């Protein structure tokens, strides 16, 4: 009796399964027929019209190709903008796991432009190590000068381009590591303030966060921002490496009600900043605006630029000597032409602006020549996410290095190239709550702090190997640069140290 029931149940199950399979097959055939009809009647895509249904795979494979390449096909040092070797170091540093490797370097040691550090015969021993002295901004000119302890900090990324959970993680991680974070041009949000870290407030061309109803700079709102004890400096953004000569771009789908309120714009409309400040059209107006913002805020003030045409550097220095040092910027941030966190036209992101390897020495040497190096601090950024890159910039003469994409990797960025959309799979650059759910700001704050601390630790390893007490003592004598023949040349020959002109030495 039981056997008959079991056989009957089995037969019923098989019939049911067969029916489901038949329905699935009919549905599949129906879908294919529908796709065929759509493809042969549409006129937008020639491939799909000529090869209905199967032509769709072309677009699917093209989309998946950029993701599969980094996992299956690209070598460790082949990818752009950052290769696997670069990203892996950041991931390991952020997780606070072993960053050492074995069996020799996988980096070609004869590529033109690469750096080689010069180890000392007698490296510094532990009892000879010293802490790097703070860099002081605005001393003697700003009411509240700022002493920055770290040589490595978080570069400008706005709330809007980044999600709330990402900004929260960065703020808390920065506080744990004792570094600063730059707000980017999107205004000051509660998420920037959540960790209590030091903050550099950036004023972009649209004056987001400190603008009046007409889009002009509001002194009252500027005072409100400066009143926050976390805000230590103000950076006037003229340009960024991703798109020199073009303002910020935040797609409409990323302009939420909260972002619109913080920026002082309308919800759901694309946030497009002017390509320049409407009230700054020449160097004289730039210095006047810097002086005005410093007087209103009481904070050190500088500007961010990408160097392309460079004649303005000398004109700026000469004008500072004419107007007086009180009109000088307290710092200049130089971004590389190969920057790229922001959404940007490909023509600008690929071809516009000098790379940091050319622009940083140019800036440093011009300031030295005009006797302004002690007055104006230099901050630099541009794909400097590994210790060797940062140490190179310090050897050239930078006071501080800042990184955006390095800290995005520490948050878990997988270089999915979705930053300009609202579809970031890691929750870093999206306002989709479901995608943000995957990013735990508490955990990621720890990784941000680990990345910064391990960067500073390995910078000291390089410095001690070069025979100096700390990274502040690195200079151009400690490195060589590979030439076009694959041979190292002294950095001092490639970038000779500038000398101050006699007429400016009295300053």
151 and 54 in one domain?
Answer: no
pLDDT digits (tens, 9 = 90+) for 74-84: 555 556 666 67
Q: Residue 277: inside a domain, yes or no? A: yes
Residues 448, 173 contacting (CB under 8 angstroms): yes
319: pLDDT confidence band, cut at 50, 70 and 90?
very high
pLDDT digits (tens, 9 = 90+) for 379-416: 999 889 899 999 999 999 999 999 988 898 898 887 77
Q: β-strand 152-154 against 146-148: which pairing, if any?
A: unpaired
419 and 325 in one domain?
Answer: yes
Alpha-carbon distances of 130 from 147, 153, 282, 453, 480, rounded to whole Å: 17, 20, 43, 16, 25
What pLDDT does residue 155 have? Answer: 94
Q: Residue 117: inside a domain, yes or no? A: no
Q: What percent of the chain has pLDDT over 70?
A: 89
pLDDT digits (tens, 9 = 90+) for 85-118: 777 878 888 888 878 777 677 777 778 888 999 9
Q: Which helix (H) or strand (E) holds 436?
A: helix 433-436
Residue for token digits 């991703």? 242
Nearest one of 171, 336, 169, 184 to 250, comparing CA atoms:
184
What pLDDT does residue 230 have? Answer: 97
Highest mean pLDDT of the ranges 13-17, 31-35, 115-119? 115-119
139 and 28 in one domain?
Answer: no
What pLDDT does residue 339 have? Answer: 66
Beta-bridge partners for 272 = 249
Tokens encoding 275: 């390509």
Secondary structure of residue 446 in the 3-state scheme: helix
Q: Residue 103: inside a domain, yes or no? A: no
Which of 42, 60, 79 terminates a domain? The answer is: 79
Which CATH number is 201's domain given? 3.20.20.70
Give residue 167's domain range: 126-504
342 and 430 in one domain?
Answer: yes
307 and 203 in one domain?
Answer: yes
189 and 40 in one domain?
Answer: no
Contacts 24+ apart (CB under 8 A), 100-106: 106/76, 106/77
176 and 42 in one domain?
Answer: no
312 and 252 in one domain?
Answer: yes
CB-based burial label for 276 (10 Å; 0-12, 13-18, 19+) = middle
Q: What mean pLDDT is reported for the chain?
A: 86
Query: At a CB cut-off of 8 Å and minimum separation 6, what does 194 contact?
Result: 167, 168, 171, 172
Nearest one of 445, 422, 459 to 152, comparing CA atoms:
459
294 and 212 in one domain?
Answer: yes
Nearest one of 214, 206, 215 to 187, comparing CA atoms:
206
Q: Residue 224: inside a domain, yes or no? A: yes
Residues 133, 150 contacting (CB under 8 angstroms): no
Which of 52, 79, 106 terminates a domain? The answer is: 79
301 and 168 in one domain?
Answer: yes
383 and 244 in one domain?
Answer: yes
75 and 207 in one domain?
Answer: no
Q: Residue 89: inside a domain, yes or no? A: no
Q: Residue 370: inside a domain, yes or no? A: yes
Number of domains into which the chain is organized: 2
pLDDT digits (tens, 9 = 90+) for 328-358: 999 999 998 776 666 667 777 777 889 999 9
Residues in the chain: 507
What pLDDT does residue 66 have? Answer: 60
Secondary structure of residue 301 in the 3-state scheme: strand
Give the pLDDT mean for 141-157.
95
What pLDDT does residue 71 have? Answer: 58
d(CA 65, CA 77): 18
Q: Residue 199: inside a domain, yes or no? A: yes
Higher pLDDT, 429 or 106: 429
435: pLDDT confidence band, cut at 50, 70 and 90?
confident
Q: Residue 101: inside a domain, yes or no? A: no
What does pTM read for this prediction?
Answer: 0.85
């Amino acid at each position: 009796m039981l056997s008959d029931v079991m056989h009957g149940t089995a037969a019923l199950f098989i019939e049911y399964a067969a029916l489901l399979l038949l329905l699935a097959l009919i549905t599949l055939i129906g879908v294919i027929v529908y796709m065929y009809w759509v493809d042969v009647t549409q006129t937008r895509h020639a491939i799909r019209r000529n090869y209905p249904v199967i032509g769709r795979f072309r677009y699917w494979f093209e989309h998946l190709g950029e993701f599969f390449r980094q996992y299956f096909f690209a070598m460790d040092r082949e990818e752009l903008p950052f290769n696997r070797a670069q990203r892996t170091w950041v991931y390991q540093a952020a997780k606070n796991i072993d960053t050492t490797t074995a069996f020799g370097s996988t980096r070609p040691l004869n590529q033109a432009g690469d750096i080689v550090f010069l180890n000392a015969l007698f490296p510094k021993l532990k009892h000879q190590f010293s802490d790097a002295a703070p860099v002081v901004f605005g001393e003697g000119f700003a009411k509240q000068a700022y002493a920055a302890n770290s040589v490595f900090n978080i570069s400008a990324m706005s709330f809007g381009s980044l999600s709330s959970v990402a900004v929260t993680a960065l703020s808390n991680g920065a506080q744990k590591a004792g570094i600063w974070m730059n707000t980017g041009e999107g205004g000051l949000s509660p998420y920037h303030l959540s960790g209590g870290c030091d903050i550099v407030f950036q004023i972009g061309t649209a004056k987001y966060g400190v603008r009046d109803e007409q889009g002009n700079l509001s002194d009252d709102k500027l005072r409100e921002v400066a009143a926050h004890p976390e805000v230590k400096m103000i950076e006037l953004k003229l340009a960024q490496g991703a798109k020199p000569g073009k303002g910020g771009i935040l797609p409409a789908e990323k302009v939420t009600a909260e972002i619109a309120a913080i920026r002082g714009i309308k919800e759901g409309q694309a946030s497009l900043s002017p390509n320049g400040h409407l009230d700054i059209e020449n160097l004289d107006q730039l210095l006047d605006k810097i002086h005005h913002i410093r007087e209103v805020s009481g904070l050190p003030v500088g500007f961010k630029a990408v160097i392309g045409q460079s004649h303005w550097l000398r004109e700026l220095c000469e004008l500072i000597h004419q107007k007086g040092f009180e009109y000088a910027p307290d710092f200049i941030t130089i971004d590389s032409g190969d920057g790229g966190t922001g959404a940007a036209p490909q023509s600008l992101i690929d071809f516009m602006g000098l790379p940091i390897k050319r622009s940083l020495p140019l800036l440093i040497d011009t300031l030295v020549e005009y006797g302004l190096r002690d007055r104006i601090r230099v901050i630099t950024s541009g794909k400097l996410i590994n210790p060797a890159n940062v140490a190179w910039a310090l050897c050239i003469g930078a006071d501080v290095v800042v990184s955006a994409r390095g800290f995005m990797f520490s948050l878990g960025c997988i270089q999915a190239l979705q930053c300009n959309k609202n579809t970031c799979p890691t929750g870093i650059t999206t306002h989709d709550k479901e995608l943000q759910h995957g990013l735990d700001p508490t955990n990621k704050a720890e990784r941000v702090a680990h990345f910064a601390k391990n960067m500073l630790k390995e910078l000291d390893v390089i410095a001690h190997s070069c025979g100096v007490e700390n990274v502040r003592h690195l200079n151009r004598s400690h490195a060589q640069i590979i030439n076009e023949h694959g041979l190292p040349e002294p950095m001092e020959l490639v970038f000779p140290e500038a000398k101050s002109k006699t007429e400016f030495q009295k300053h």
